[in-house]
Chains A and B, each alone.
Chain A
Amino acid sequence: MDLLRNLVLTLIVFLPLVGTIVVMFMPKENERGIKRFATWWSLLPLALSIFLAVDYWVGFVARGAGDMAYEVKLPWIPALDVHYHIGADGLSVPLIFLTALLTTLGLYYSARTIKKRVKEFFALFLFLSTGMFGVFVSLDLILFYVFWEIGLVPMYFMIGIWGQQKDRPQYAAIKFFLYTLAGSVFMLLAIIGIYLSAGTFDIIEAAEKGVWAAGTLAATLSFWAFFVAFAIKVPSFPFHTWLPDAHTAAPTAGSVILAGVLLKLGAYGFLRILLPIFPETFAYFGWVVALLGVIGIVYGAFVSLAQTDLKRLIAYSSVSHMGYVMLGIGAAAFALNSNGGEGMLNNAAMAINGAALQMFMHGIITGALFFLVGVIYERAHTRDLAQFGGLSSVVPVFYATMMFAGFASLGLPGLAGFWAEFFTFRGAFGIVPVLATVGVIGIVITAAYILYRIIQSVFLGEYDAKKLTHWSTGAGEHADGPTDMMRFEKVTLWPLVALMILLGIYPAPVLNFFNTTAVALLGRLVN
């Protein structure tokens, strides 16, 4: 058991890489074999991530502890003092599970929908998950940086190669790549800065030793360098315009991973690196982060309302929804300014809980929404909302699934998204009430674009068979009209819907992870 505990994170990170290598040695023609292998192989990290969650729950969460665990620290590049230092706590464990789940579902779905260059796609997809897992476990800044960049390359190719020509995939891919890379460069700079100041690349050590005193130019510059890198990834207003293009062009599973996991890497960076290492600087600028979050919420919602392309709409909705994450994190950091005692600490903890929950729930909900876009796009070959209408009775299963995901996305109580919004606002109202008040406008507009744009355009009204004449089934065969979800689509989506309902009713299984770690983190920062 202890051996497994020592190895579990390493296995989760590198098993997908092993999978990539195996796929590369498989004959290109054996598409069926490649798809099957990749999907089954991805169950290994998923199983391990479930083990991880259960084990961490029993060992830590149940005792109310949120410590770092499963740590491994080995010298990697001794000359540069770089270590292979990994570990997981209550913040990373649920995100590792989310990554594993969406990877498996994405591979399973792609196995039935990807038609060209199959071998490359599945090799890249597995490689991508190594990068994402790696970010969530890294406790060394250089290691973090390496995994961060690893996540970039496969996604670049996925957008560029498997995108639809009419969506300008090359443009979208290079925009995505360069934009994120530009951010990473700032991050690398700041990492070097931290080393110069604290004498270590270790995230935990750097937090304990402390870097430059707050208020110095160096501290401020490093803070903003990290900030830009993470804000681009989140993406925060005004660094978000790569997202709609990337999402629109990416293949379905690529969009799912992009929205479900890659955006969370940025938000994760805020909580794992910026808040512990630069607590005072972050506290000082916390209101800026919260402000950008609020702008993202409201502005993103208004822009979503103007969209006519279903996928672009959901992409913009991600800008809005990730604004909640920024608001929660910014507010929590800002709370460190005050000595408000336990009340303020609880406000901050709930703000972090809200942000972290939003990361998790948005992954599930928006992941499902992008799958649903894939479902309709495979059939209708268009995402133009004006082309649809009246599908509610024609494809009732698809309708019901979309309703769950859509209402979860607009934060309906009883479904998963509500708790993220509620805790974010619960925390933020206690800390930055004016900003939070502006932010609630976003809730109304979100309801408007989900119901007015998506539900009404696609499902309500009278179904007109003359509007769209070229239909396929979910598997790409010719069809005479809209057909309901196939089995593989249900298998992909219903686990996500089940999570939305179960966590909507009882969010504690996920919330407890975040809460214990948030309380522990804030406790360290306040002392």
Chain B
Amino acid sequence: MTPTFLNLAWLVPLPPLLAFFAIILFTNKNKRLSSNVAIGAILISWALAWLVAFAFFVQPEFIEHPFDVAVPWLPTGTTLFSMGVTVDAVTAGMLFMVGFVLAMIFIYSSGYMTFPGHLAAALNKDGLDPRYSRFFAYISLFATGMLGLVVANNLLMLFIFWEIMGLCSYLLIGFWYEKKYPDPKQITPKEAGLKAFLTTRVGDVLLMMGLIFLFIQAGDLNFQYIFAAETLHHLAEASVTLPLFGEVSWAVLISVLIFFGAIGKSAQFPLHVWLPDAMEGPTPVSALIHAATMVSAGVYLIVRMLPLFAADHHGENGAMTFVAFIGAFTAIFAATIALAQNDIKKVLAYSTISQLGYMFAALGIGAWVAAIFHLLTHAFFKALLFLGSGSVIHGVEHGHHHAHAHGHGHDDHDGHGHGAYFDPQNMLNMGGLLKRMPRTGWTFILGAASLSGFPLLTAGFWSKDEILADAFVNGHTLVFWTLAAAALLTAFYTFRAVFLTFFGQPRTEAAAHAPESVSAMTLPLMLLAIFAVAGGWVGIPSIFPGLGGLLNNPFGSLMKGQAEHYGLHAEEVFSSFALGVSLVVALGGIFLAWLVYGRRPLQTGQQDPVARLLGPVYTILQRKYYFDELYAATIVRFTKWLSQISFRFDDQWLIDPIVDGVGRFGRWLSGALRRFVDEPIIDGAVNGAGLVASAAGSALRLLQTGQAQNYLLVLLLTVLVLLGLAQFV
């Protein structure tokens, strides 16, 4: 094979890892140096990632023979397990997106992590977060996880990086771990981190089970090896009988187990509950981990493993149907919740869950290329929206402090000192911000348009339309209408957020005084906005009337080749009916949002018109269908109860009491024996009975007197008896 830049792939995850160790070991005292080390490292990774990606784009021969190099890593009995990197079209596409988004968010973070409102009192003279260095160490380690996951050439290595991301997610959600809220029911960052880790852990152990079964059945975990036709055929033919489910093929069982990993990581129903609470983390983290990269790693996993999911040949394909169902259900389910959220980040969080559901639904109906397309475009526009919301929050927080420092003559800068708690993330506290923060505002609107699928221009339109068209043309009617309804809701709640935040008049002093953010923050917004719009143009179907011929769908043709290599179907589709529906739901949703929130902007203290309209249903939506309460009352409570019961059982009820009882019995027996020798038989028996009673009452005291020789005597006797027994057998 000719030398190629693809050989650099294994280097891509390394610079941030070195930065992580450099920061925790050496530079953590110097905050600016730490962030510079982290940003420098990520820029190197970005460059390497794009080198690899473009090297792949210009060498189409690698589509047929994906680049795959590995070194032996682990002995596994008589065989060896190798670790290495692989580059195919999916890897290249992901490297293109991840490298860029990581770099943007690192730069943004250096501006964002300067003003933690709750810590204003503790704010250092340098104006940086007290744990600024630690933040950059964590996100560097995260970058290693994400980049490593993308280049991994086998499922075990993918899993390792997957879990490292989970660790970073935990650390970063709980980054402001001392934060408390006046409402004790509101989840705090430290609790949110724990919740995220444990919820995803449930999915992760199932993923690990799937991985292990695949290892056992296939003999290796290398992707190219697994996706060889013989291996897939074997997995689809070999079957296992399960209780309740009867006979299923290994391919289906393994696929479903692996999908549970994705359900956890990508916050799909029923493991979705952690993601909205993960918004307790600093906003760049929400953008990076909980929108653009880590949560979409779940989708990436299924994209990777789809040949296995599709490998079943016994009629109805259970694994794919399951994926489609969970995806479509989550898409609409999360979209309805997003309607009733007032926290700007919560809206985006539910939107993320919903959009990820979109991608899974696409994968479940076999629309592999469309799913990847939506994964990439979503990463750009959702990162943009989250960073935009962070800029807004930052601005409102500054505005709040400004207003209270000057407007009301207060001297203290302590965020807690103002009596009523001010929530800078609540959209009801905003309004009219477009004038105060034009760069943030306009880029946010572009991102929102893309998320809503604003026709023809935006990336979100093209990727979403492709999914809808695929569902319609291939006869997945239920999925099609579910996703169409979700798209309508998406456009509505997204522009609800836009109107509430940026239009009308400021509803608080804080909003009225919010300043535009620094350029370290707005520059990434503008760069991301370019991709949020233009990123979709590379994937316009070539058969699309008029526009199709302009660029000839380079993305689609690349991915199509790759899909065929893995034996997946990838026909370009176009349907004017689906297009019509797509136009109607996107524009209709935006129009409805304008009708409700744009035409007559919400006034201070005014109730949300939708709340009035929906009545009690609104409360259910606002409380997220009570899933948190349900889990707290069942799983969490049961686990705590079981742990207490186990401990009692161990320490007080059975296990340890038996041990102490045996000790007491030994002591009693030796006493009784002595009395048999020393005293008349009847007297001895009476005393012995008395001893039992007294011994039972004061076990510990007796044990503590430490009469070891008594026990030893009993033990010796027992041994002799047993020894005698053994002689005979």
Query: Footprint of B on A, CB under 8 Å?
Result: 168, 170-171, 174-175, 177-179, 181-182, 185-186, 188-189, 192-193, 196, 216-218, 221-222, 225, 238, 240-242, 299, 302-307, 342-343, 345-350, 353, 390, 392-393, 396, 400, 407, 412-414, 418-419, 422, 425-426, 429-430, 437, 440, 443-445, 447-448, 451-452, 456, 459-463, 506-508, 511-512, 515-516, 518-519
A101 CB to nearest B CB, Å: 22
A-B contacts, 10 listed (Cβ < 8 Å): A177-B708, A178-B711, A178-B715, A179-B659, A217-B729, A345-B77, A414-B160, A444-B202, A462-B178, A508-B74
Whether the pair A342, B78 counts as a contact (CB closer than 8 A) is: yes
- How many Å lie between the Cα of A186 and that of B177 in the bound state? 52
Whether the pair B639, A445 counts as a contact (CB closer than 8 A) is: yes
A220 CB to nearest B CB, Å: 9
A514 CB to nearest B CB, Å: 9
Whether the pair A429, B726 counts as a contact (CB closer than 8 A) is: no
Whether the pair A306, B177 counts as a contact (CB closer than 8 A) is: no
Q: Is B676 an interface residue (CB 8 A)?
A: no
- How many Å lie between the Cα of A462 and that of B78 in the bound state? 52
Q: Which residues of A lie under 8 Å from residue B704 when comparing CB positions?
A: 168, 170-171
Whether the pair B656, A345 counts as a contact (CB closer than 8 A) is: no
Q: Which residues of A lie under 8 Å from residue B655 when comparing CB positions?
A: 238, 240-241
Q: Which of B131, B202, B216, B725 contacts A347 (CB 8 A)?
A: B216
Whether the pair A174, B644 counts as a contact (CB closer than 8 A) is: no
Whether the pair A413, B76 counts as a contact (CB closer than 8 A) is: no
Q: Which residues of A lie under 8 Å from residue B177 when comparing CB positions?
A: 390, 392, 459-461
Q: Which of A192, A346, A451 contacts B76 (CB 8 A)?
A: A346
Q: Which residues of B lie under 8 Å from residue A418 when comparing CB positions?
A: 160, 163
Q: Which residues of B lie under 8 Å from residue A429 when comparing CB positions?
A: 209, 212-213, 216
Q: Which residues of A lie under 8 Å from residue B202 when comparing CB positions?
A: 444
- How many Å lie between the Cα of A516 and that of B164 in the bound state? 30
Whether the pair B178, A519 counts as a contact (CB closer than 8 A) is: no
Whether the pair A350, B76 counts as a contact (CB closer than 8 A) is: yes
Q: Which residues of A lie under 8 Å from residue B186 when comparing CB positions?
A: none
What 16 new A-B contacts, CB under 8 Å, besides A303-B650, A413-B164, A448-B639?
A174-B703, A178-B663, A192-B726, A196-B727, A238-B655, A240-B655, A306-B644, A345-B77, A347-B77, A347-B216, A350-B77, A393-B131, A412-B163, A425-B212, A508-B75, A515-B76
Q: Which of B205, B663, B703, B727 contacts A444 (CB 8 A)?
A: B205
B503 CB to nearest A CB, Å: 38
Q: Which residues of B lie under 8 Å from residue A241 when comparing CB positions?
A: 650-651, 655-656, 659
- How many Å lie between the Cα of A357 and that of B650 in the bound state? 28
Instruction: Specify the chain B residue showing the minimal Cβ separation from A440.
Output: B205
Whether the pair B719, A188 counts as a contact (CB closer than 8 A) is: yes
- How many Å lie between the Cα of A518 and that of B76 in the bound state? 10
Q: Is B180 an interface residue (CB 8 A)?
A: yes
Whether the pair A182, B715 counts as a contact (CB closer than 8 A) is: yes
Q: Is B502 an interface residue (CB 8 A)?
A: no
8 shortest interchain CB distances as A-B pairs: A346-B77, A349-B77, A306-B647, A413-B160, A305-B643, A460-B177, A515-B75, A460-B190
Whether the pair B643, A303 counts as a contact (CB closer than 8 A) is: yes
Q: Which of A189, A343, A400, A443 contacts B201 (CB 8 A)?
A: A443
B17 CB to nearest A CB, Å: 10
Instruction: Specify the chain B residue showing the minimal Cβ separation from A352.
Output: B77
Q: Which residues of B lie under 8 Å from residue A238 when comparing CB positions?
A: 655
Interface string of B81-118 (1 = CB under 8 A from A): 00000000000000000000000000000000000000
Q: Is B548 an interface residue (CB 8 A)?
A: no
Q: Which residues of A lie under 8 Å from residue B561 when comparing CB positions?
A: none
Whether the pair A393, B212 counts as a contact (CB closer than 8 A) is: no
Q: Which residues of B lie under 8 Å from residue A447 when comparing CB positions?
A: 197-198, 201
Q: Which of B78, B161, B703 contacts A349 (CB 8 A)?
A: B78
Interface hits, B613-656 → A, CB 8 Å: 639-640, 642-644, 646-647, 650-651, 655-656
Q: Is B16 an interface residue (CB 8 A)?
A: no
Q: Is B174 an interface residue (CB 8 A)?
A: yes
- How many Å lie between the Cα of A302 and that of B170 in the bound state? 22
Instruction: Tell whether A511 pairs with B75 under 8 Å between CB atoms, given A241-B655, A443-B201.
Output: yes
B478 CB to nearest A CB, Å: 33
A352 CB to nearest B CB, Å: 9
Q: Is B167 an interface residue (CB 8 A)?
A: yes
**Interface residues of A, dominant DSSP:** helix
- How many Å lie between the Cα of A171 and that of B219 in the bound state? 52
Q: Which residues of B lie under 8 Å from residue A437 when comparing CB positions?
A: 209
Whether the pair A393, B130 counts as a contact (CB closer than 8 A) is: yes
B141 CB to nearest A CB, Å: 9
Q: Which residues of A lie under 8 Å from residue B28 when comparing CB positions?
A: 396
Interface string of B179-207 (1 = CB under 8 A from A): 01000000000100010011001100100
Whether the pair A451, B198 counts as a contact (CB closer than 8 A) is: yes
Q: Is B245 an interface residue (CB 8 A)?
A: no
Whether the pair A390, B178 counts as a contact (CB closer than 8 A) is: yes
Instruction: Specify the chain A residue showing the minimal Cβ separation from B213.
Output: A429
Q: Is B417 an interface residue (CB 8 A)?
A: no
Whether the pair B706, A302 counts as a contact (CB closer than 8 A) is: no
Q: Which residues of A lie under 8 Å from residue B651 when comparing CB positions?
A: 241
B74 CB to nearest A CB, Å: 6
Q: Which residues of A lie under 8 Å from residue B642 when comparing CB positions?
A: 302
Q: Which residues of B lie under 8 Å from residue A303 when comparing CB positions?
A: 643, 646-647, 650
Q: Which residues of B lie under 8 Å from residue A347 when comparing CB positions?
A: 77, 216
Q: Which residues of B lie under 8 Å from residue A186 when comparing CB positions?
A: 722
Q: Which residues of B lie under 8 Å from residue A396 when comparing CB positions?
A: 28, 134
- How many Å lie between the Cα of A512 and that of B213 in the bound state? 23
Q: Which residues of A lie under 8 Å from residue B715 when comparing CB positions?
A: 178, 181-182, 185
Whether the pair B178, A511 counts as a contact (CB closer than 8 A) is: no
Whether the pair B647, A175 counts as a contact (CB closer than 8 A) is: no
Q: Which residues of B lie under 8 Å from residue A175 when comparing CB positions?
A: 659, 663, 703
Q: Is B575 an interface residue (CB 8 A)?
A: no
Instruction: Tell whether A508 pairs with B78 under 8 Å between CB atoms, given A443-B201, A445-B639.
Output: no
Whether the pair B209, A189 counts as a contact (CB closer than 8 A) is: no
Whether the pair B78, A519 counts as a contact (CB closer than 8 A) is: yes
Q: Which of B178, B643, B727 contacts A302 (CB 8 A)?
A: B643
- How many Å lie between the Cα of A348 and that of B216 in the bound state? 12
Q: Is B26 an interface residue (CB 8 A)?
A: no
Q: Is B208 an interface residue (CB 8 A)?
A: yes
Interface hits, B706-729 → A, CB 8 Å: 706, 708, 711-712, 715-716, 718-719, 722-723, 725-727, 729
- How many Å lie between the Cα of A456 and that of B704 in the bound state? 36
Q: Which residues of A lie under 8 Å from residue B700 when comparing CB positions?
A: 168, 171
Q: Which residues of B lie under 8 Å from residue A182 when comparing CB positions?
A: 715
Instruction: Specify the chain B residue showing the minimal Cβ separation from A504.
Output: B160
Q: Which residues of A lie under 8 Å from residue B79 when comparing CB positions?
A: 346
- How many Å lie between the Cα of A348 and that of B77 in the bound state? 8
- How many Å lie between the Cα of A218 and that of B728 in the bound state? 9
Instruction: Specify the chain B residue showing the minimal Cβ separation from A242.
Output: B659
Q: Which of A174, A189, A507 contacts B74 (CB 8 A)?
A: A507
Instruction: Specify the chain A residue showing the minimal Cβ separation from B699.
Output: A171
Q: Is B24 an interface residue (CB 8 A)?
A: yes
A395 CB to nearest B CB, Å: 14
Whether the pair B719, A456 counts as a contact (CB closer than 8 A) is: no
Interface hits, B103-159 → A, CB 8 Å: 130-131, 134, 156, 159
Whether the pair A407, B198 counts as a contact (CB closer than 8 A) is: no
- How many Å lie between the Cα of A185 and that of B722 in the bound state? 10
Q: Which of A353, A430, A461 contacts B178 (CB 8 A)?
A: A461
Instruction: Tell whether A185 pairs with B718 under 8 Å between CB atoms, given A241-B655, A507-B74.
Output: yes
- How many Å lie between the Cα of A342 and that of B197 in the bound state? 38
Q: Which of B178, B643, B656, B708 contacts A174 (CB 8 A)?
A: B708
Q: Which of B194, B208, B706 contacts A440 (CB 8 A)?
A: B208
A218 CB to nearest B CB, Å: 5
Q: Which residues of B lie under 8 Å from residue A443 when comparing CB positions?
A: 201, 205, 208
- How many Å lie between the Cα of A302 and that of B24 in the bound state? 33
A398 CB to nearest B CB, Å: 13
Q: Is B481 an interface residue (CB 8 A)?
A: no
Q: Which residues of A lie under 8 Å from residue B719 when comparing CB positions?
A: 185, 188-189
Instruction: Tell whether A192 pairs with B723 under 8 Å between CB atoms, given A242-B659, A349-B78, A413-B164.
Output: yes
